[in-house]
Amino acid sequence: METMKAVAQPWQCDAMDHMNVRHYSAIFDDASSHFVGQLGGGVEELSSAELGWADVRHVVEFRDEVKAGSLLTVSTRVLKIGRTSLTFCHDLKGLNQNLHATMEVVSVMFDLRARGATSLPGNIRAAAEELLALQSI
């Protein structure tokens, strides 16, 4: 599922003339928000239940540098559904579909009152399972 579109801005580039790693994280973080939101786990849906997401693991692989002006898209896929967590992967690509970077994320459903992990709500689990099934077709 497409979760983000971005443009690499000149101010995001470092002395070596490519996008600095801190900005990859921002793009991936925004993509995560869109991803869980599309599964029914956005801020609007979760706030009344006092739930949120806590990322507990990020693994980033940089494949091809991003230059200023590059048009970027992030697509996201489910890797694993746990009792309290989702593991998913973001792919950051350019217009010609070249893979610039990936980020594997483990995000835990977080009870904001108890300050700890809690079970994924049924609607989010069902949406993630449906996406996972569609990915394998």
Measured distance CA(8)–CA(14) in Å, rounded: 12
Q: Point out the residues of the chain with pLDDT beneath 70.
A: none
Task: Name the residue range of residue 68's domain.
Answer: 2-135
The whole-number pLDDT of residue 113 equals: 95
For the chain, what is the mean pLDDT?
96
Residue 117 is encoded by which pair of tokens? 């992990």
Q: What is the CATH number of the domain that holds 13?
A: 3.10.129.10
Number of folded domains that form the chain: 1
pLDDT at residue 25 in the model: 96
Report the pLDDT value the prediction gives residue 136, as an integer from 0 to 100: 82
Give the C-alpha separation, 48 to 89, whole Å: 28
* pLDDT of amino acid 66: 97
